[in-house]
Structures are given as structure tokens and as C-alpha cells.
A = this chain, B = another copy of it.
Amino acid sequence: MKMATPQIKVNFASNNPHKIIEVKEILESFGIKVNPLKSKVREIQSNSLEEIAADSARITAQATCKSIVVEDAGLFIKVLGGFPGPYSSYVYDTIGCSGILKLMERVAKRTATFRSAVSYCEANREPKVFIGETEGKISLTEKGGRRFGYDPIFIPDELDGRAFSELSVREKNKISHRSRAFNKLANWLLRADKQA
């Protein structure tokens, strides 16, 4: 008699509905089910996304006694010394895309990197971290489309000059920092599952 393989399921702690949509699309393409959980953890202050994500995953896994996935992402603008970086979310809530564009007025060098750190942790274990990056430029004006974070002002180098906001979720997931990090997680989970 052949046993049906139980589907892999991950508990994804996030309060951001845009993120949850993207992550579901990515992980479900690997046959991995996503169970969104409200995130209640207080993030640490650090210049390292890896540290922030790993710390949040460890604390949430311990508090819930579940395997937990968390993601921390940031936009690192080279000429601004990496700003807004690990504090992208707070900066977005205060000065927003328009503040970033004002800081970039009269600035020719517009290189920026979107980074994602995805951490997976089981209760009482050490967290694993997977990194994804996408290189691009800060646009001169805000572009239309989906208004998710800095997507309206980030133009990935790999495409045709459209901003992240102007791509469908599926298009964005082909090249985004988030999908690159979650792809690594998915492959690791599938390997771990086969070995089990």
C-alpha cells in the first residue's frame, strides 16, 4: 500500500497582506501550503536583516511552539549609505516614497538593492536564514500600479524599465528579492522533507 505524502505546510508570521499574497504564490508553486499567523514579536534594532529575521523567528517559534517562517526586507540605496535599509518600514510609514524621492533629487547615482531575509525556525532550535537580492535603480517619479512599500519607486535592472509596482504578482515573483529568498527556503524544505 502506498502512503500519500502529507503536504508541507509553513506558518508564516506577517501582518502585511501584500507580503502574504506574494509568499503564497511563491510557495504554493512548490506545493507548499502557507498558513498566515499574526506577528506579535518586537523586532530588535540591527543593521542586519539576517539578525532581525532570525531573532524574530526564534522568539515566535519559542512562544508558539510551532515551526515559524518570518521575512524582513529592506531597500538599500547606495548613495544614502544603505538608507532606509533595515528601518525601511518605519521610514515608509513616516516620509514614504515621496520622502525618498526628495532625498534623491539632483542625485545621478540611483543604484539600490532590495534585500529579503527569510528565516525558518523550529521551537528550541537555531534559526536558518535565506537571503535574496534584486538590483535596480530609484525612479525619478512614483510609478503607478500596486502600492506596496517602495515598489512604485524601484526599477529592477533585469526588466524593461517598469517599476516593481507595475508588474503582476507573478511577474514580480520571477525576479524579486523576496521570491529569491523564499525559493531557497522552498528547496531546503523539500530536501529536508525527502530526507525525513
A: residues with CB less than 8 A from B are 42-47, 52, 80-87, 90-91, 93-95, 99, 102-103, 105
Q: Please, which residues of chain B bring their CB within 8 A of the CB of A83? A: 91, 94-95, 99
CA distance A94 to B95 in the complex (A): 15
**Assembly CA distance A128 to B99 (angstroms):** 36
Q: Provide the residues of chain B in CB contact with A102, threshold 8 Å.
A: 102-103, 105
The answer to whether B95 touches A81 (Cβ under 8 A) is yes
Q: A95-B81, A103-B99 are in contact. Are A43 and B44 (CB under 8 A)?
A: yes
Q: How far is the CA of A164 from the CA of B169 in the complex (A)?
A: 49
- Residue on B with the closest CB to A56? B45
Q: For the complex, give the distance between the alpha carbons of A99 and B83 in Å.
A: 10
**Cβ distance A1 to chain B, nearest Cβ, rounded Å:** 52
CB-contact partner of A80 in B47, B82, B87, B99, under 8 A: B99
CB-CB < 8 A to A87: which residues of B? 45, 87, 90-91
Docked Cα-Cα span, A149 to B52, in Å, equals: 25
Q: A44-B44, A83-B91, A87-B87 are in contact. List 8 more A-B contacts (CB 8 A).
A: A42-B44, A45-B45, A81-B93, A87-B90, A95-B103, A102-B102, A102-B105, A103-B103
